[in-house]
Structure formats: structure tokens, C-alpha cells
Structure 1
Amino acid sequence: SGKRITRGLYQSKAGTCIHADINGALNTLQKSRVVELDDNLKVKTPILLEVQKRKAVASRIA
């Protein structure tokens, strides 16, 4: 694990500085087994995620 440098900035144990929110998102993806990262924060096992298109909630009235 790395350490917090300043508010919003995180430094990994490899020395890479990243935004704390990005670090949190990467940790969530790792824990859910969606991605696997190496020590340089590069994705080892990329997979294709299917994202549903947004459905229209209400039709437009012209």
C-alpha cells in the first residue's frame, strides 16, 4: 500500500502519484474482481464490460 501525500493525492508503493478518487475506484474494481493491476497500476486482465444504453424516461412534448 502507499500513502497519502496531500488532500486528494495518493502515492503508491511503486512511487506513482495518482488522484485519491481514482485510487479508490481502482481499489473497488480490484475487490470486485473486474480488473487485476500490476505494481505500476497497469491493467493485467482487461475485460469488456457491457453498458446498457440509457432509456428515455419521458417523451418530449413539442
Structure 2
Amino acid sequence: MSIEAVFSDVPHVLLSAVVLEQAITQYIDHYRCHEIVGNVTPADAYFGRTPKILEEWKR
């Protein structure tokens, strides 16, 4: 068996790993609440929605 045959799927595996890493990063950055930014998502904090969200939580 040649070395090319052994590693023929490596690019696909690496591509899958990159896609998975991007999906995890997107989840963490946009959908998961973080205590450091007031228990809101980083996207909410970035777009200034924190006060509105915290006010709704108080109700």
C-alpha cells in the first residue's frame, strides 16, 4: 500500500475538523450564555441587548 493511499482521506478529515471547530465556536460565541458578560450571549452583549435581557429576567 502506498503512502498516498494511507493518507488519501486526510484532507477530508481535516476539513471536517475545521467545520466542527467553526460550529463549536459559533455556538459558544452566539448561543451560550457567559457569566463574564452578565450571563448573556457574547452576541447579545456586543449588540447592546444586555440591559433589555436582564430587565426581562427580573420580571
If you compute each CA radius of gyration, which structure gives the higher value, 1 or 2? 2
Q: Which is richer in strand?
A: 1
TM-score (norm 1): 0.26
